[in-house]
Amino acid sequence: MSLASLIAEVEKLTAPSREVDGRLFGWLHDTEPCGTFMLCFDEEKFQFRHPIEERRAWYVLGTDVPEFTASIDAVVALIEREGLEWLRKSPDAMTVYAPLTDEQEARKEWAVHFSAAGATPAIALLAAFLRAIEARAG
């Protein structure tokens, strides 16, 4: 799944979705899900594999895969892992940005913010995070 298609899917959500959580989990690990409610993971190749293959470990949605689309804490953990920061613009809109370096602050530069609205604060924050990652990737 491409980042652009994942962003589009997150932005269309009207409620949290474990399927989208699974797709995001797969994207974060550069893999593809092999099922709707379970993701199988081959530890040797670091790729999701078909569940029929012999060597596999299972990530069961609801236990191992964070609830990205339902939990602000799960999204904040992603943001912090990427060295980004966030703020709430309104009840349903969030923004994510990279903090300025000392050199940027000395030049009086402005941080670039990536904003998004969503059905819930977690969905809005997740969409803004993915937009910031998309911009960073170029």
Burial of 14 (0-12, 13-18, 19+ CB in 10 A): exposed
d(CA 24, CA 59): 13
pLDDT digits (tens, 9 = 90+) for 73-108: 999 999 999 999 998 888 778 999 888 888 888 888
Alpha carbon 117 to its chain centroid, in Å, reads: 15
Q: What is the pLDDT of residue 40?
A: 52
Region label for 46, one of left (φ > 0), alpha (ψ between -120 and 50) or beta (otherwise): left
pLDDT digits (tens, 9 = 90+) for 21-65: 888 887 887 655 544 444 554 444 444 444 444 444 545 555 567
